[in-house]
């Protein structure tokens, strides 16, 4: 193994982890702008089913996407653990509703494997890898691919 490969394997990935149902997901912390509690969400007519609506966050209108619906899961009523993870994708600020935010983790890049075709009902197109932790698996989402071009076009007009 050449030295550059060893260095890459020792690289630590810093992830924000969150849960949707029984599954635990992670996203690169550099993509996350902030994590907020849920607030009043205004419905938007003719929005795709997974777009819950919009919020006003410090004067900016931000579209809110329910990740449960995006993954085809049964919607869940928001509770005290529900959070909105605010992320910038292709110059658009978007909020993703998750059941709960767990922690910020640092995991070695060498523990991440390529995704299988389907993990926990989530299409592998959205998954950048699966992190093997001591007692659990962490599904790593590629948020840039979570929304199609048409979805992004709709969100940019909101």
| Cα→Cα distances 125→106, 117, 133, Å | 24, 8, 22
pLDDT in tens, 68-107: 988 888 889 999 999 999 998 878 899 999 999 999 999 9
The CATH superfamily label for domain 3-156 reads CheA-289, Domain 4 (2.40.50.180)
Give the whole-angstrom CA distance, residue 39 versus residue 35: 12
Residues facing 51 on adjacent strands: 65
* Percentage of the chain lying above the pLDDT 70 cut: 82
Whether 42 and 52 have beta carbons less than 8 Å apart is answered as: no
- Alpha helix ranges (H) inside the chain: 3-10, 67-70, 149-156
Single out the residue of 80, 51, 69, 77 nearest to residue 122, CA to CA: 69
Per-domain residue ranges of the chain: 3-156
For the cut 70, the answer to whether the pLDDT of residue 2 exceeds it is: no
Single out the residue of 18, 5, 49 nearest to residue 138, CA to CA: 18
Dihedral of CA atoms 51, 153, 145, 21 in degrees, nearest 10, equals 0
């Amino acid at each position: 193994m050449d030295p550059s490969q060893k260095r890459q394997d020792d690289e630590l990935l810093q992830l924000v982890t969150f849960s949707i149902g029984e599954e635990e997901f992670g996203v690169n912390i550099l993509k996350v702008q902030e994590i907020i509690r849920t607030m009043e969400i205004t419905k938007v007519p003719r929005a795709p089913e997974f777009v819950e609506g919009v919020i006003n966050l410090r004067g900016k209108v931000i579209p809110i996407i329910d990740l449960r619906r995006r993954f085809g899961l049964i919607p869940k009523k928001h509770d005290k653990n529900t959070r909105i993870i605010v992320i910038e994708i292709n110059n658009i600020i978007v909020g993703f509703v998750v059941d709960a935010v767990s922690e910020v983790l640092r995991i070695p890049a060498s523990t991440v494997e390529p995704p299988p075709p389907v993990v926990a009902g989530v299409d592998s197109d959205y998954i950048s890898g699966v992190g093997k932790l001591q007692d659990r698996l962490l599904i790593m989402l590629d948020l840039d691919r979570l929304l199609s071009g048409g979805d992004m076009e709709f969100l940019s007009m909101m």
